[in-house]
Chains A and B, each alone.
Chain A
Amino acid sequence: MHISEGVLSAPILAGGAVLAAAGTAIGLRRLDYDRLVTVAILSAAFFVGSLVHVPVGLSNAHLVLNGLIGAALGWASFPAILVGLTLQAVLFQYGGITALGVNTFNMAAPAVACCYLFRPLLAGTGKARAVGAFCCGAGGVLLAALLTAASLALTDEGFIRSAQVLVLAHVPVMLAEGLLTIPLVAYLSKADPEFFSARLAG
């Protein structure tokens, strides 16, 4: 899901950078001082999550955690993911430095979408919350895979083909993330009942 250096054409890289910058600006403006520590911790979780390999099937895939981050942070996912990705690029050489904008957008935009789509469910209890959590985890990965396929398609590899490959490769990750997100959300709401029902500053 991390696109390497030199794969994408310049206009796509520039477009991704602009979108990521806009998202980050919105995220920072809406960032509530009281949630700063939560953002930092989730950013660190994202950074570490990429090292957790999901050992199923053919893919060399790892956790993304963008669904959970989105549900917890909303637009602040952009700065959180940007920081995590920057450090992954510098320290692990995952994804190119020039592709940082595209990669940030590909993972943070689904996070924001998950926030709008599933956060209301997470504020509930019982089954609704579990379903919302699963959708959040799985949906974040699915949307990110589709956006990555779209970025590749805009450069050269055909969209249908790369989308098929990427989505198929990420099915195990989607399941793993969906299942992992359920207990995480349950735990977070138990520890802090306001966690998912509090209004995100806007």
Chain B
Amino acid sequence: MFRSVFPLLAGLALLAALAFPSLALAHRVNLFAYVDNGKVMADCFYSKSRKVNHGQVIVTDAVTGAELLRGETDENGAFSFPVPEAARTAGHGLKLTLIAGEGHQNEAEVSAQELGVVPAAAPAAAAPASTWVAPAPEPAPAAAPADNAALARLVEEAVARQLSPLKRMLAETQEAGPGAVEIVGGIGYIFGLFGVAAFMASRKKR
């Protein structure tokens, strides 16, 4: 009887191997969130080619859990919003929850550092959203502070430009589905488990 089922498994493994290019598909929905130019970008996808259309994204304060806003992803699974005022004044990070329907859900957090809203930021600064918290300006020649601020903004923009492809790359590595290691490993686990079960059963029999 056993001999009859082995080829079945072999056939399935083959099928899985054939399906490999489209493997990163099924039942995990992904949410990748990052900050770009003062805006929070959320990328929602099942796999590289399957984005979440019209999934609901709920944004809450990561500390208090209060809901700040909610929205829907577009055709490309993207949803973006400016850093909410409430998070900026409170200096808290954000938690994004993606509800894709049919029982699919995932969440991601964007820390306060990433948002650039660390509480220490003096309200007087009234700076753009993505301001990095600069160390308190040292006493300097009168004209310097303005220049410093402009310089800081320039540096920030340059760094943001350099980082955004990296962030996208990170998002893409998350899109890779289970690989051969997981698949073969899982089958190994199953046989190991049933091996133990067989061993126990044979001892009981004796």
Binding site for B on A (CB under 8 A): 1-8, 33-45, 47-53, 55, 60-62, 83-84, 87-88, 91-95, 148, 151-152, 157, 162, 165-166, 169, 184, 187-188, 191-192, 194-195
Residue numbers in B under 8 Å from A2 (CB-CB): 26-27, 103
Bound-state CA distance A87–B191 (Å) is: 12
Residue numbers in B under 8 Å from A4 (CB-CB): 28-29, 103-106
Smallest CB–CB gap between A95 and chain B, Å? Answer: 6
| Interface positions of B from 128 to 183, Cβ below 8 Å from A | 177-178, 182-183
Interface contact A48-B16, CB-CB below 8 Å: yes
Interface contact A165-B26, CB-CB below 8 Å: no
B5 proximal to A (CB < 8 A) = yes
Q: Which of B77-85, B113-121, B197-205 contacts A (4 or more CB under 8 A)?
A: B197-205
Chain B interface SS verdict (over half): helix
| Interface positions of B from 47 to 101, Cβ below 8 Å from A | 47, 50, 101
The closest CB in chain A to the CB of B186 belongs to A87
Interchain CB contact (< 8 A) of A62 among B5, B27, B101, B105: B27
CB-defined interface of B13-25 with A at 8 Å, one 1/0 digit per residue?
1011001001101
A62 with B102: in contact, given A44-B191, A48-B183, A51-B183 (CB under 8 Å)? no
Interface contact A37-B194, CB-CB below 8 Å: yes
Residue numbers in A under 8 Å from B125 (CB-CB): none
30 A-B pairs in the complex with CB atoms less than 8 angstroms apart: A4-B28, A4-B29, A4-B103, A4-B106, A5-B105, A6-B107, A7-B103, A36-B198, A37-B2, A37-B194, A40-B190, A40-B193, A41-B6, A41-B9, A43-B194, A44-B187, A48-B13, A51-B16, A51-B26, A52-B12, A83-B190, A88-B186, A91-B178, A93-B28, A94-B28, A95-B27, A162-B102, A165-B102, A187-B8, A192-B4
Bound-state CA distance A191–B201 (Å) is: 26
Bound-state CA distance A134–B36 (Å) is: 52
Bound-state CA distance A66–B163 (Å) is: 46
Smallest CB–CB gap between B13 and chain A, Å? Answer: 6
B46 proximal to A (CB < 8 A) = yes
